[in-house]
Structure 1
Amino acid sequence: MIVNSNSMARIAQINLFSSLEIILHHILEVPEFILFTSHHFTILLAAGLVVLYLACKRRVAIYLLDFTCYQPPDFYRMPHSMFLEYAYLDNQMDANSLAFQVKILEKSGFSEETCIPACMTLLPIGKSLSSAREEAESVIFSTVSDLLKKNNIDPKSIDILIINSSMVSPTPSLSAMVVNKFRMRSNIMTFNLSGMGCSAGILSISLAKDLLRVHRNSLAVIVSTELLNVNRYTGKEPSMLLTNCLFRTGGAAILLSSRDQDKKNAKYELQHLVRTNKAQDDQSYNCVFQDVDSEKKLGVSISKDTVKVAGDALKANISSLGPLVLPFSEQFCYGIFMICRKMRIPCRLRFYMPDFKKAFDHFCIHAGGRAIIQGIKKNLQLRDEDVEASKMTLYRFGNTSSSSIWYELCYIETKGRMKRGHRVWQIAFGSGFKCNSAVWKCVHNVDPKKTTVWSNRIDSYPLEVPAAMNIDMN
């Protein structure tokens, strides 16, 4: 009888399975072996599932493709003397209130180029919802349009839209306004954040990060701004007059992606995001507070404790951020200091601040005011060049709230200082009180020749900002 090779292989396979069946039958007759096998089989199965899960699980990278900052028209410019003149004529305020605002502006670190919306340059100043919508359209539409055009993005390809504006939250929402203007998809995920203060920009990044990691291969647009019109304070309470003096118009639009193919076009990759909320503490909660004054006029008061509260929030934030970014040498020194402190061993240092210059190449500190920038510079032992972007942003654009850190990053890029592999730390503070940090790593060298809000006069910076600028009211 002739048997081909396939038949022989089939016979061998049958014999093998028959032998295994006989062996398995004899083994399973032993109870101890059944227990032993079941126990180890469970362990091996669990271990296998863990290995399989880890092999399948891959960290989803979040890329920053591009961002744009709002450039107000020249006729939005509001020199100090004009600002005070408008304040006097509009509010008919007393001499003390006017003198207080003069003092604040002298120490603000602002130039004569900071801007306010056109609707606030009219007399009487029109505080209305329609004026606020006009302001929102001017800032938001401009930045989103520039962002989409620069990157050749079809509005219908945007999957997630997040807008943060703390003090204005109309109906329909600002995000709905953008969807309507750019005719975005009906299934786009939209979010409108309000009441989150100047740190809302990083909060929006945090929300986008979580959404992009769940909804992979998606694009997200974030718009960070603060609308000034309806929040102008018309009373005489000094702590509430501060907001009129410190805040100026501005905004930024940011394009994020979780698509693998976008890495080759990305500017940055998100490394870390750390959020600190101190609202459980009464002093922190009340230091920036919206309320009515004794004359029932609505305003936002800024407490004298704000700088101290910001310092405490920063310390709590960097205690969480430090282990993620600092080199081992700095973490070791900090650990030794804490051990000495716990064991009450005499030490010349009251507090050891790690050297964050070893972890970051660039710093974007929220341009909330000169005192905030100087306080962080001192506490973190930074150099003048480390806070240059923050000081120049405050000088030229003023405090633009949550968008200020993007004007600062734009300054660094336009100066040609951002190189591949550099890491940048964005620090923002906000009411509540909150301190939030975002760490970005530069993926590719950034071309400084691309047109930005700084391009037309970047060669003029940095410049020396006087400690106090005299304001001529004659």
Structure 2
Amino acid sequence: METLPEPRNNNLPNFFLSVRLKYVKLGYHYLVSNALYLFFFPLFTIILTTHLSTFTIDDFIELSNHMIKYNYMVFILVLISSVFLATLYFMSRPRKVYLVNFACYKPDQSQICSKELFMKLSKEARCFTEENISFQKKILERSGFGQKTYGPIALMQENPTQCMAASRKETETVMFGAIDELLEKTGIKARDIAILVVNSSLFNPTPSLSAAIVNRYKLRGNILSYNLGGMGCSAGLISIDLAKQLLQVNPNSYALVVSTENITRNWYFGNYRPMLVTNCLFRVGGAAILLSNKSSDRRRSKYQLIHTLRTHKGADDRSYKCVFQEEDENQNVGVSLSKDLMAVAGEALKTNITTLGPLVLPMSEQLLFLATLVARKFLKMKVKPYIPDFKLAFEHFCIHAGGRAVLDEIEKNLELTPWHMEPSRMTLYRFGNTSSSSLWYELAYSEAKGRIRRGDRIWQIGFGSGFKCNSGVWRALRSINPAKERNPWMDEIDEFPVDVAKTSTINN
């Protein structure tokens, strides 16, 4: 099987150079569809309350006598209508979803896989050609990885094994480790959990991973459990969105979301280069997140979920096939990364960002963006596209740590600062690409740095096979004191200088 040619352009396209109006309109549609909850009813309530506050007791008595004398039925109808509308509003408005707490799994020190150890294991496997050994070394040099990422125990030994037992053990160790820590942090009982959503893209045994969690923690018999497979690195936010939808129709409930990926079962022992890249980039990790729609949990929760937005480009063949699990010519199964990956990722990100903009950007930015868009699209004026300043909408950015090149391009296109990119770069450097759970290691980094303040807005961006790009927007309900938090970055938050993550290389 021949290798794919090197891409001529490894950059993401400019997100705002060519914007489709339908995605801008979609964003405004989401905004207008929620206007009743966000504007009209509260405005009506304020006006009515302000007006009634000027009434004295004598005014109310006079009004009552007037209604009784002249139009008793109208008064009754108005009263019934007001009660009905108020009831309808409070019953149909979206339930608030809170993130009570989350936990990221930190593997044992024995699983640390330095770059030298990775290359040593690759050579000892005796299945890679010398050319592909050098190829893997180059990938590591450009990866942005440090020396303390974690590999699976089953593969870090003299005779690596990919058996089902070893794969199941890896995934269960990660999931149970994260869940145990989460339950300890929150103090809730496992049987209080009403909704369970688990995502693991490539490893989906029978019974399912969600069933393994139900069995381990003896969850209730009527639990709503879901197991998401094959959805790639963006599945973490898909799981959050699914849990959010379920919490809308199940009052007073807790939802547990578990995001992970399995390395043991999906290591590639072949020489097809588009599949070899995944060996170099993916590492062991996982996260558990507890969501609640109970108003009583607001006080102790960390964040409130404001928006989730999903973009799916699977209708396009190029997008669908850019990350593809298949067999090579020797029947070795692997995940192939297409040369079109960067371009596809850029288009998905552009669509997602364009749709999200009207929901989060201040009006000043929206007006400037729309003005230049109208000038370019309709007036055919040669004006420079206006790039909205998303730093005015968010204080913190958690961008999926898929690779250093993607982070570089997003930083450039969205005009972010190194400070905003630090959580993503440091997560890539310390933990590698942990797939769908990487966003939570990034948020944990911001917490460990003491950056999260009450009212701060956080934007999580995940993208993966399909091709999909998903966003999650959170607002901090309280300031996070890192000294009181158990965190995967604990005791080493200042160990790695940030500039190391941008200049990391492998020793000879």
Could you state the TM-score of these two structures normalised by the residue count of structure 2?
0.82
Q: What is the match of residue 130 of structure 2?
A: 95
The 5 A counterparts of 1:343-422 are: 343-349=378-384, 351-422=385-456
Q: Distance in 2 between matches of 1:385 and 1:272?
A: 24
Q: Distance in 2 between matches of 1:46 and 1:314?
A: 45
Of 300, 320, 332, which aligns to 2:355? Answer: 320
Of 191, 196, 216, which aligns to 2:251? Answer: 216
Q: What is the match of residue 17 of structure 1?
A: none
Q: Distance in 2 between matches of 1:288 and 1:182?
A: 35
The 5 A counterparts of 1:170-249 are: 170-249=205-284
Preserved CA contact (<8 Å) 2:448 2:493: yes
Cα 1:312–1:260 shift into 2, 3 Å: same
Preserved CA contact (<8 Å) 2:375 2:383: no
CA-CA distance at 1:48 after TM superposition: 8.4
Q: Does 1:262 align with 2:294?
A: no
Q: Distance in 1 between matches of 2:221 and 2:94?
A: 29
CA deviations 1:104-160 (Å, max 9, x no partner) are 000000001001111111222101111111101210110001100111111111111
CA-CA distance at 1:208 after TM superposition: 0.2
Cα 1:468–1:414 shift into 2, 3 Å: closer
Q: Distance in 2 between matches of 1:461 and 1:92?
A: 34
The 5 A counterparts of 1:36-115 are: 52-115=87-150
The 5 A counterparts of 1:272-287 are: 272-287=307-322
Q: Distance in 2 between matches of 1:56 and 1:106?
A: 56
Q: What is the match of residue 424 of structure 1?
A: 458
Cα 1:234–1:328 shift into 2, 3 Å: same
Cα 1:56–1:159 shift into 2, 3 Å: closer
Q: Distance in 1 between matches of 2:438 and 2:118?
A: 21
CA-CA distance at 1:415 after TM superposition: 0.4
**Structure 2 stretches of 5 or more lacking a match?**
1-69
Paired letter, 2:490: S
Cα 1:362–1:190 shift into 2, 3 Å: same
CA-CA distance at 1:458 after TM superposition: 1.0
Q: Distance in 1 between matches of 2:130 and 2:246?
A: 52
3-state SS, counterpart of residue 346 of structure 1: coil
CA deviations 1:349-391 (Å, max 9, x no partner) are 1x32210000000000000000111111111111110100000
Cα 1:467–1:213 shift into 2, 3 Å: closer
Q: What is the match of residue 116 of structure 1?
A: 151
The higher radius of gyration belongs to: 1
Deviates more, 1:443-452 or 1:318-327: 443-452
3-state SS, counterpart of residue 409 of structure 1: helix
CA deviations 1:150-203 (Å, max 9, x no partner) are 111111111111110000000001111111111111111111100000000000
3-state SS, counterpart of residue 220 of structure 1: strand
Cα 1:454–1:52 shift into 2, 3 Å: closer
Paired letter, 1:295: N
Q: What is the match of residue 9 of structure 1?
A: none
3-state SS, counterpart of residue 331 of structure 2: coil
Paired letter, 2:468: K
The 5 A counterparts of 1:129-140 are: 129-140=164-175
Identity across matched positions, percent:
47
Preserved CA contact (<8 Å) 1:277 1:433: yes
3-state SS, counterpart of residue 499 of structure 2: coil
Cα 1:55–1:101 shift into 2, 3 Å: closer
Counting matched residue pairs gives: 437
Preserved CA contact (<8 Å) 1:107 1:467: no
RMSD: 2.3
Preserved CA contact (<8 Å) 2:261 2:285: yes
Paired letter, 1:381: E
Deviates more, 1:47-56 or 1:76-85: 47-56
Preserved CA contact (<8 Å) 2:102 2:288: yes
Cα 1:56–1:194 shift into 2, 3 Å: closer
CA-CA distance at 1:451 after TM superposition: 2.2
Cα 1:466–1:165 shift into 2, 3 Å: closer
CA deviations 1:218-248 (Å, max 9, x no partner) are 0011110001111000100110000000000
Paired letter, 1:392: M
Paired letter, 2:475: K
CA deviations 1:14-39 (Å, max 9, x no partner) are xxxxxx9xxx9xxxxxxxxxxxx9xx
CA-CA distance at 1:91 after TM superposition: 3.6
3-state SS, counterpart of residue 464 of structure 1: helix
Cα 1:461–1:95 shift into 2, 3 Å: closer
Instruction: Report runs of 4+ in structure 1 exceeding 4 Å deviation.
Output: 42-52, 466-470
Deviates more, 1:101-110 or 1:450-459: 450-459
**Structure 1 stretches of 5 or more lacking a match?**
1-19, 25-36
Paired letter, 1:77: I
Paired letter, 1:193: L
CA deviations 1:272-312 (Å, max 9, x no partner) are 00000000111111110001111111100111211111111
Q: Distance in 2 between matches of 1:447 and 1:433?
A: 37
Deviates more, 1:116-125 or 1:455-464: 455-464
Q: What is the match of residue 330 of structure 2?
A: 295
CA deviations 1:68-101 (Å, max 9, x no partner) are 0011101101111111111121143111110100
Q: Distance in 1 between matches of 2:315 and 2:159?
A: 41
CA-CA distance at 1:55 after TM superposition: 4.9
Q: What is the match of residue 488 of structure 2?
A: 453
CA-CA distance at 1:321 after TM superposition: 0.6
Q: What is the match of residue 437 of structure 1?
A: 471
Cα 1:91–1:153 shift into 2, 3 Å: farther
Q: Does 1:165 align with 2:200?
A: yes
CA-CA distance at 1:255 after TM superposition: 0.4
Preserved CA contact (<8 Å) 1:307 1:371: no
3-state SS, counterpart of residue 437 of structure 1: strand
Q: Distance in 2 between matches of 1:51 and 1:74?
A: 57
Q: Distance in 1 between matches of 2:116 and 2:495?
A: 24
Q: Distance in 1 between matches of 2:151 and 2:463?
A: 22
Paired letter, 2:491: N
Paired letter, 1:266: S
CA-CA distance at 1:343 after TM superposition: 2.1
3-state SS, counterpart of residue 374 of structure 2: helix
